[in-house]
Amino acid sequence: MEYGQHLLHIEDKLDKQAEIVRDQIIGRGDDEKLLERLDHRVEKVRNAITHAYNDPIPETIEIATDMVDMFSTLSIEQLFSTMRRDSRNMYKQKASEERQAARVDALTQSNNRSVYHEQLKAATSDITKQEPEPDGKQRYFALVMFDLDRFKGINDDYGHDTGDAALQSFAQVLRNITRTHPDRRNDEHLESTDRRVDPDDMDTLFEPFGKKGQHGGEKSMSRLGGDEFTLLMNTRAESIEDATAQFEGGLNRLRSELEAVCFEYKGKNFPIVSSSGMHVLQEDDTAESAYVKADTALAEHKKDKKERYEKAVEILTGLGVENLQVVEDKRKAELSSMKVEDVLASFKVLQERGALKIHVRPDQQMTPAAETLEEFGIPIVYDDEDDYEPPHDEPGVV
């Protein structure tokens, strides 16, 4: 091959390889410095080719050829190195996303049950192992449990998609309340009914404990499933009495914030009313015992759920919330029905065993109460007036 043709060949090779590397750099979105380095390297090789054109002797031709070959080799190695690095980064990112997804409730973006268990286990362990700090304080924890009142009514009467919207909205409201960032008042996602607490008054009760990435990362609230949520509060205090006072203040603030909030879905507004219970962790607590005690406190708070719901509706109505939907307490009706069925089943078992007779006094015969019992298959004995004697001593006779 003549020198001129050979130089044209290696120059074309240089241009093609440089274009491949340039496209790779631009495609990756790398900065201009890499492009400048590429242009500088290409210019040095091109100068060698130009010198060979001007002085076509074996030595200059060999130098130009070697420089083109070296540029191509380095470019290919760089390309494969970049591809390997990108592949590793993609794998790491995917693995990180998968780990994160495994710790997050997909519907509400709260911690999921596994993170809740991790947090609570770490908290109970922390209490038993820690020593007082130089200032005499140590860390204390409180587990708060929530569930939504009349959530079954939302699902039954308005559909599970509306129920999902209720869970998402409650989780967002709870996140807004427990945020401690000073820009909370400027959060454009907050509804007007959620702007009642000055963020400067918020303390660190709701901040996650431990280093970043430990015990649930940056979240202290979890969804256990259904309409059940938890929040783990923590504080530093000189005594458990002092810590308890702080936790009770935090719980009261939460309940006040949750007193009258609602969410909008498909043009309808729904009250979000919740019951809550709290347990301050003791040194002898396990994760299981802490859950049971918080759940017991939750059950106690639920006794007033009817009054809370009615008050929320009254406040929201007074605020002018349009198209407000009042949801029935389907769970209460369901429990009442279950109790009736249990009673009837018990009556029938006693009847089958011959251990049940219901005597009706002569003056109560054919009353609606007796007729209702007969409709359900309960055996009724109507006593004659002349022979009637109260059967106080006969076992199994009412």
HEC readout, 298-336: HHHHHHHHHHHHHHHHHHHHHCCCCCECCCCCHHHHHHH
Do residues 362 and 383 make contact, with C-beta atoms less than 8 angstroms apart? yes
Q: What is the pLDDT of residues 187-237, one digit of tens each?
A: 433 333 333 334 333 457 888 765 554 555 567 889 998 999 999 999 989
Residues 93, 99, 101, 103: is their CA dihedral positive or negative? Answer: negative
- CA–CA separation, 15 vs 19, rounded Å? 6
172 closest CA partner among 99, 244, 108, 268: 108
Cβ-based neighbours of 158, under 8 Å, separated by 6 or more: 265, 268, 270, 325, 327
Measured CA to CA in angstroms, residue 366 lies from 28, 35, 189, 381 at distances of 89, 100, 64, 11
Q: How much is the pLDDT for 132?
A: 67
- CA–CA separation, 252 vs 294, rounded Å? 15
Q: How much is the pLDDT for 269?
A: 96
Give the DSSP letter of residue 392: S
- CA–CA separation, 14 vs 23, rounded Å? 14
Task: Copy the structure tokens of residue 275.
Answer: 């019951």
C-alpha distance across the termini of the chain, in Å: 121
Domain boundary assignment for the chain: 3-101, 113-328, 333-382
The list of the chain residues with pLDDT below 70 reads 1, 28-31, 76-80, 82-84, 86-87, 91, 95-101, 130, 132, 180-203, 209-218, 331-344, 351, 354-357, 361-377, 379, 384-398
Please state the pTM of the whole predicted model: 0.60
Half-sphere exposure of 146 (CA within 13 A, CB side): 22
Do residues 308 and 255 make contact, with C-beta atoms less than 8 angstroms apart? no
Strands 358-360 and 380-382: parallel
Residue 363: which region, alpha, beta or left (left: phi > 0; alpha: psi -120 to 50)?
A: alpha
- Write the class of the CATH domain 113-328: alpha beta
Task: Copy the structure tokens of residue 92.
Answer: 């790491």
- CA–CA separation, 275 vs 270, rounded Å? 16
149 closest CA partner among 314, 338, 328: 328
Cβ-based neighbours of 277, under 8 Å, separated by 6 or more: 144, 145, 294, 295, 296, 297, 298, 299, 300, 301
- CA–CA separation, 146 vs 149, rounded Å? 10
Do residues 237 and 112 make contact, with C-beta atoms less than 8 angstroms apart? no
φ, ψ at 360 (rounded to 5°)? -115, 125
Q: How much is the pLDDT for 14?
A: 86
Do residues 141 and 233 make contact, with C-beta atoms less than 8 angstroms apart? yes
The position carrying tokens 């820009």 is 183
